[in-house]
Amino acid sequence: MDKLLINGPSKIEGEIRISGSKNSALPILASGLLSKGSVRIGNLPHLNDVTTMIELLSCLGVDLLIDEKLGVELNAEKITQFTAPYELVKTMRASILVLGPLLARLGKARVSFPGGCAIGSRPVDLHLRGFEALGATVTVESGFIEAVVDGRLKGAHIFMDKVTVGGTENILMAATLAEGRSIIENAAREPEVVDLANCLNAMGAKISGIGTDKLIIDGVEELHGCDYDVMSDRIEAGTFLVAAAATRGWIKVKDVDPHSLEAVLAKLEEAGAKMTVGDDWIRLDMEGRKPIAVDIRTAPYPAFPTDMQAQFTAMNSVATGVSTVVETIFENRLIQVHEMNRMGANIRIEGNTAIVEGCETLTAAPVMASDLRASASLVIAGLCANGATLVDRIYHIDRGYECIEEKMQLLGASIRRIPGRLSNEQSEQSS
């Protein structure tokens, strides 16, 4: 199992291009199942989750062409498979996003319960209630979700009693091919949902209210092909910005929409960073100063994103002052705090709140990543620590950050990947 070795302290300084968004790429790849034409999707990040989704689509019978830049051309005209197998779904929660498109195209879908990060309960009941409202019969048996409909789905008025990104995306995709008008109330407003809706409209869907909490979908009989580039990864951009702030450095992140990060940028300014933005870039400069502790409370977009909580907790651990970090989305997403405390951080947990008392510096220690964003926070902590920090179980970070050690090296960090030993099975496969 690979590890990251970080020699600190390191100061992040320089410019970096931001990759395509994983959280946008996965639903957009799944949306290719809705079209009978060829759909080309570009600006995909080189990530394990993207590869898994491509493998899943291939397993379902989608014809795929992949170019040297990992642009993917999908043709789902002849798909007949409607089962997403456990072997692929178990590694990635976003696999559930093929359920809506398969149901809308084939009239039936069977998807194993999904896996992914262990950051808390993320029930799929809102997805399933949405499909039932559209006229599907949904059953759960032997670890599989099965949905069937006689003929086409029927438009419906759907109120989401909790804001859910995945649920909004799944129901939105299904509704594009439903008969009549569907309305999704209390829909998620995240930029990745907007990106998916724009892609669906490029394929011939009729979606209005994009970017609001009320999506209106007038169903069409079929979707056609399109050529679409996914948006840049706002969470990757935010992670590098926080790394520069925590290490008292400077950074310019390029190919990113500053509007998608307004809540994060406001908190970085509050932390003492000098911020400047352009149409597709953000520059942060600490001018050598230590960050000031900032209070954080996660909530659905456009409020502060849960996917940036762990990184700010790491920054607060070396900031001036005391801060509170309140996690309202996932109950286990403060789990990285225990590893940070092993590095000398002064953080205590009270329910869903972390009270962080900033210290002068951290001390290197072997640490273990528990989920995707927690692993990013441990990298930031390692950059701030004195000595050599070894981050284990970095397969989590590889799910969401493209070549993180190479990008950090370009920004001045002393970081490298240490390959894990191959198991006997892996050795046989590689020979």
What residues are annotated to the active site?
A: 117
What are the C-alpha distances in Å from 336 to residues 151, 352, 372, 428? 48, 13, 10, 35
Give whole-number Cα distances, 253 to 112, 125, 250, 410, in Å.
38, 38, 10, 12
Cα–Cα distance between 256 and 278 in angstroms, integer? 9
Q: Measuring CA to CA, how many Å separate 98 from each of 32, 41, 59?
A: 9, 16, 12
Residue (of 307, 53, 31, 33) closest to 196 by Cα position:
31
Structure tokens at 265: 């940028």
Bridge partners, 387 (sequence order): 8
Give CA–CA dist 71/269, Å, rounded. Answer: 36
Angle, vertex CA 265, rays to CA 263 and CA 267, nearest 5: 75
What the block records as the tokens of 246 is 């925590």
In the numeric block, which tokens belong to residue 212?
């609001």
Residue 185: enclosing H or E segment and its boundaries?
strand 181-185
- Other C-beta atoms closer than 10 Å to the C-beta of 350 total 9
Tokens for 89, please give them. Answer: 């779904």
The C-alpha atoms of residue 356 and residue 324 are separated, in whole angstroms, by: 6
User: What tokens does 340 get?
Assistant: 């940070």
DSSP symbol at 13: E
92 touches 84 (CB < 8 A): no
Strands (E), 43-155: 63-66, 72-75, 83-84, 108-112, 137-141, 144-148
Cα gap 381→246, rounded to integer Å: 8
